[in-house]
């Protein structure tokens, strides 16, 4: 199945649809973010065009969003160790840098489902976390931001481009 997806990507990739490819269930999201998190240059170099295309598409979407008057509330759910949560709490109001592209949604209930909040497999050292952020598109300081390797990158309007409406 993965090899078929890679073959399809190889044959049909078009930078215009990078967000579609990235949000599609398959190899690209997992592979790219794993390489970014591990800072694996050997894996990242062949994927540099994907990073550039994704960054560019996100930037374009952010610029479109800045033209609107909307205030956007986004949510991200994930499992985190108690140690990671403690570090976040200690560093409130500081820049948070991560080594991957982060997904967020305007649908809080959907994020709660995917955050693992109802999971029975949580152990005492791992907790489900809901991150919430409000963004004002007309403010440069409050643009929708995603951090990737400490570079600020704008978030996409996933409803326009995402392959599957619900992650």
Closest CA to 156 of 139, 140, 135: 135
Give me the pLDDT at residue 42, please: 96
Closest CA to 150 of 66, 42, 36: 36
Give me the pLDDT at residue 40, please: 93
SS3 letters across 59-102? HHHHHHHHCCCCCEEEEEEEEEEHHHHHHHHHCCCCCCCCECCC
| pTM: predicted TM-score of the whole model, two decimal places | 0.66
Residue-wise pLDDT tens digits, 94-146: 777 777 777 778 888 888 887 776 666 567 788 888 888 877 666 543 333 43
Give me the pLDDT at residue 85, please: 85
Scanning the structure block, which residue is given the tokens 């952020």?
133
Residue-wise pLDDT tens digits, 50-89: 999 998 888 887 777 777 767 778 888 888 888 988 888 8
* Dist CA 138 CA 149 (whole Å): 25
Give me the pLDDT at residue 161, please: 43
Give me the pLDDT at residue 126, please: 85
Check the CA dihedral 56-59-64-67 and report its sign: negative
């Amino acid at each position: 199945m993965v090899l078929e997806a890679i073959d399809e990507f190889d044959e049909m990739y078009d930078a215009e649809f990078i967000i579609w490819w990235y949000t599609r269930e398959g190899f690209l999201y997992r592979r790219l973010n794993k390489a970014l998190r591990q800072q694996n240059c050997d894996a990242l170099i062949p994927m540099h065009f994907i990073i550039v295309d994704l960054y560019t598409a996100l930037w374009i979407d952010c610029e479109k969003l800045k033209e609107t008057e909307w205030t956007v509330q986004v949510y991200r759910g994930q499992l985190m160790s108690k140690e990671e949560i403690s570090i976040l709490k200690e560093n409130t109001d500081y820049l948070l840098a991560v080594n991957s592209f982060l997904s967020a949604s305007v649908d809080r209930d959907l994020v709660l489902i995917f955050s693992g909040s109802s999971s029975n497999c949580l152990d005492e050292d791992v907790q489900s976390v809901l991150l919430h952020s409000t963004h004002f598109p007309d403010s440069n300081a409050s643009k929708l931001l995603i951090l990737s390797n400490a570079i600020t990158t704008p978030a996409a309007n996933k409803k326009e481009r995402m392959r599957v409406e619900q992650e």
